A and B are shown apart, each in its own frame.
Chain A
Amino acid sequence: QKEVEQDPGPLSVPEGAIVSLNCTYSNSAFQYFMWYRQYSRKGPELLMYTYSSGNKEDGRFTAQVDKSSKYISLFIRDSQPSDSATYLCAMTFMDTGRRALTFGSGTRLQVQP
């Protein structure tokens, strides 16, 4: 079993829809949680960064962390065709000497105009 599980999709939604993307994880030691967006043939781009359980909002994006359930989510409001990309969750311990991110496999999102 992978440490971080993510539904690969593809997820297809109409423009303007609310999108919900999710990851589950098995290691309760993970402390920091991120969401990256990756366009085809590009490197991942950081969207959201959270530490504690709860919600964090940035524009149309809301990241949610539930450490008790080992479950994180990313919500995209008013989705746009330009949001079509692969969304990767990532997490880390951030202990001294251990800084590697563990990524999910990514969810491919298609927003239809």
Chain B
Amino acid sequence: DTGVSQDPRHKITKRGQNVTFRCDPISEHNRLYWYRQTLGQGPEFLTYFQNEAQLEKSRLLSDRFSAERPKGSFSTLEIQRTEQGDSAMYLCASETPTGEKLFFGSGTQLSVL
């Protein structure tokens, strides 16, 4: 499968715990994005990387959130001290080199109890 891969697909955690999600983009795509989607809403932009550089961050990305892409390949999104309001689908996407098309993974569904 050469699409965008996200792991895990589902995560259930207790409030206050830390969680980490992983994204493996399509191999020739150097831009990688994180979005968050809640029920009945469209995805909301969180942050994006060009290679290993994090170039843009949304104000939605509080200081409890951190994203990395250490070698310009896979990326991780960590949420510290999770809150119930963090419950959402976290989507990763990678972009074609020409910058026209974004391909999404199937997401990680986070439930904070």
Contact = CB atoms under 8 A, between A and B. Distances in A.
B40 interface: yes
Contact of B43 (A32, A41, A44, A99): A44
Interface stretch (B12-20, B70-78, B79-87, B100-108): B100-108
A103 B56 contact: no
Interface residues of A, number: 26
- The size class of the interface chain B forms with chain A is 20 to 34
A35 to B, nearest CB: 12
Contacts of A104: 42
B33 to A, nearest CB: 8
Given A43-B4, A45-B104, A103 B42 contact: yes
Interface of A: 4, 6, 8, 32, 34, 36, 41-46, 49, 88, 90, 94, 97-106
